[in-house]
Structure 1
Amino acid sequence: MATLNKIVAVIDDDESIARAIKRLLRSVAIKAESFSSGEEFLGTLSLTSGWPACVILDYELPGIDGLELQRRLAPTGVAV
């Protein structure tokens, strides 16, 4: 299992939706980072030492779609 950070990753190509979800999470004291694509998210993971505790994921993303990204994350134990 991957090392989990106390952060939520919001992956959505619609910037206004990602911003609204981040704002909602911040209102209940939850840290969140947003990503506009699955590739951007996976690229960031390779540069960091841990995985988010949870991922909020758009179903229709450019490139790697939400279902494929979920399949790739399943073995890590991250809640999607």
Structure 2
Amino acid sequence: MSSSSAPVCAADPPRLVTENDVVDMLRDVVTRDGTQRAAAARLGFSHCLLSSVLGGRRAPTAQVYRAVGVGRLLVLTRECSDA
């Protein structure tokens, strides 16, 4: 998480986060749990996936987003007249 943001919890209002924020959330979980293996087991996915996301070799998956309480939204940034 960025230095100005508080940890995400169920009581926090929704806010926009980036993939980098999700990686920071994962790093916080690893720090609390002590190892990547322990964190991955608690979050419900493989330590290989966790390691790949933390190392920047793989983007967070839907499973990773769900594990840290993040939902993905699509945002329309401009109107397309040919759609």
Structure in which a larger fraction of residues adopt strand: 1
Structure 2 length normalisation: TM-score? 0.25
Structure with the greater alpha carbon radius of gyration: 2
Q: Which has the higher contact order (CA 8 A, sep 6+)?
A: 1
- Tell me the TM-score normalized by structure 1: 0.26
